[in-house]
Structure 1
Amino acid sequence: MTGSATGGKSAVIATDLSTASESMIESETGLNCLGRIGVERIHIVTVVPSNVHSGMPGMGFEKRRKKALRRYRSIVEDAGFDVETHVVRGTPHRRINGIAGSVGADLVLVGSRGKSPLENRVIGSTARNLARTTVVPLLVDRIERGVDEPETIRRHLFKRTLFATDFSENAERAFQSFEYLRHATKEVTLVHVESPKDDTSGGPDPEERLDELVDRLDEWGLDARTEIRRGDPANEILAAEADHDPSTLLLGSRGRSRLRRLLLGSVSEEVVARAAGNVFLVPPPRSA
């Protein structure tokens, strides 16, 4: 593993044992990126849905699961990480959140948009459910869809990062992630979207606020460009992604609440569902 710059972090990688999620685990470049941001221990988690059991006709699930997890462990250990595997039963996003909380994970990594087998659909809807409920930063790793041997769409997880900000506390929390992401980041694009609903009269100038963020990034040795767009926030963030082709979109979420579907769905969840590349979603801390 390339030397950890900050050290001591742990990550949960959720897999449904499909060829799509396998490509995520097999990505040498992706594992290298995790090492660069300080990840040392990886927990590989697979969730068996409650309505699936190993004796179901045609499944052969138990044997496949053990074989796949042994292979995944070997790949990740060979990349220089300490590895633990977890097999749990239940609703995928709830169990993944539970494992992440119990092991004190700093990051959850899940694939999205790939094919997944009948017995466990982690890739796809679970990514969206995790976006609504995650208790730790969530990286949605985009994987090719509709091909027999899918690959990760963006090999470098954080090399070119597009940070979307509305200057809120949630956005500031996500911005602070650059303190460790910088060790795997080469380019940063800062985007602010002015919505028609915003009241900007008498408020701080967005260009000045973006320039302040540029100065902070400069202290971390990162060059950045800025852009102000106008329109619907989710649509404009996705349009900025199309224009700049980043490895990853970085943004904050409003975290868990009874109203999380309303609070999150307006921007963050929409971006997770529709982005072409990876999305790194930073929620409020567990204590919030």
Structure 2
Amino acid sequence: MTRAVRAVDGAPPAKPEDTFSLYDAEEAVLTRSEAMLAGLTDVAGGVKALADAYRRGYREQRRLVRLSDRMQLDLQKANQALAEQRRDLQVLNAALSSEIEHRTRLEAELRSLADTDDLTGALARRRFMEIAAREWLRHERAGAPVCILMLDLDRFKLLNDSFGHAAGDAALVAFVATCRANLRTLDVIGRTGGEEFAVVLPDTTLEAGYAFAERLREAVAATPVPGVEAGVTITVSIGAAQAWRGESLESAMQRADAALYAAKREGRNRVGLEPDGAPSQSAHP
């Protein structure tokens, strides 16, 4: 309620701005309060927005932490799986290495069996032919002399029939041992049949081959057969041929074989030469 102030002693009436209201202060307080409330509302909104942002950030952080934990767990499991696979591979590699070594040994044994006569230690026929062919090629390229010897133990069947196959085996072993004692390191001996053998003498002429064959024949005749009664020996007939330029290895072996059978017909325990071959005093190198 507003009340006008009377003029005193004839003073003029008060101006409107000089009027006084009982609630002016309250209204001013209310106005300021409303402004403060509005400000607080704005602050509260900002705080709420900040809290919401913090809450979202916290939730995202928790999600990332859980994701990281899962990733670490998956990584740990993957590492464990890799470690187990590595151990399995190590075991498998060890097994494979052992298998490879075993197969390598077997292959070496099989190769040895295929290359070597298991009774006498002489080369098997196939391996002998391979090495003889190599020497033959060298002879063809360089024109070096090569002598071929074909050897056959005399009356070997009679030895087997009289003293048994064990005696026959012992005679074969003793024969090859005698040959090896007289051969050079570059000479090659192979077993081509039951009691038949062949020798390749590189860089050896027919005359020198004949001289060597004679020495070998005498050494064999002086070798007793192990395991049988004293005085039992074996003899060998030998055919010799020299390689011709342009001739095949098989052809030279056939000529030496023909000389061998000529020696057999002439009484055994002797050295036969290829047709038109004549011995001389040349020695085996």
TM superposition score normalised by structure 2:
0.21
**Larger Rg computed on CA atoms:** 2
Whose helix proportion is higher, 1 or 2? 2
Whose strand proportion is higher, 1 or 2? 1
TM superposition score normalised by structure 1:
0.21
